[in-house]
Amino acid sequence: MKEYKGIVFFDYDGTTVDEVDRIKTATPTTVESLNKLKENGYLTMLCSGRTKRFLEADIDKFQGAITCNGAFTEVDGEVFRDITIPDELMFDVIDKYFPRDTIIQLETQDVTYYLHNDAEFFQYFCRLFSLPERWYAPWKFRTKDNHINKLVLNYKDPKVLEDFKEEYKDVFQCAKHVRENFIDITLKGVTKGDAIEELIGKLGIDKKDTYAFGDADNDVEMMKVVGTGVAMGRHSDAVGEVASMVTGTVKEEGITQALEKLGLI
């Protein structure tokens, strides 16, 4: 394994891209800064709640990725972590919550599986957001070696969220979307911070040489475990409390501003 001077972790939504300002892929300035980081001996890691498939537009601009809020880690094509949800636990969720007017997505790194009753929804969803239908498949096509790293639960009744969090508080970690009624579900204790600590240890990187950029509550854990946490211009209160510094928004090229200020590029 190649030796690195340090590691810089980048959240995706609200950090590398920004739906508020309609920035759908990393800006040319950000890409240039990533390349400078690599030239200067730093490992660049994309760190997201999404799966690899949903990072398709930008994942190749980084040397590695932590996905599904910490369930999966890959560096230069080598898999360091692949934490999966046991089938029996997954079926328990389906049995109890599918009848409650929800839509359950079962996510691997390459494809999202859905239950047969939801086929029409996902076909409409793909058309609405211009997403490739190959990203989705009915559950019957899932193979046993296709690991489920994360569940996504879309709901209408807020009580569904309350009930789910209470019922599975000892086994699942839940991260709610800021604006929409859905939650990302991973196994208890699986966070971006946990995955980062593991990777730092395996690569033998000093904590002081690690940095993280983020904006939302699911970035708090990674901010806490790195040497320097950088909050984007628009960020949650929780991120603001743990960040070492604040930079500009994606539109304001906040990533490049901070990297220059920190002397990394």
pLDDT tens track for 173-185: 888 876 678 889 9
Backbone angles phi, psi at 95, to 5 degrees: -60, -35
> Which tokens sit at 160?
């569904």
Q: What pTM was estimated for this model as a whole?
A: 0.90
Instruction: Point out the residues of the chain with pLDDT beneath 50.
Output: none
What was the pLDDT predicted at 130? 80
What was the pLDDT predicted at 134? 84
Helix (H) / strand (E) element for 237: namely helix 237-242
CB 248 within 8 A of CB 21: no
Burial 93-130 (b: 16+ CB within 10 A, else e): bbeebeeeebbbbbbbbebbbbbeebeeebeebeeeee
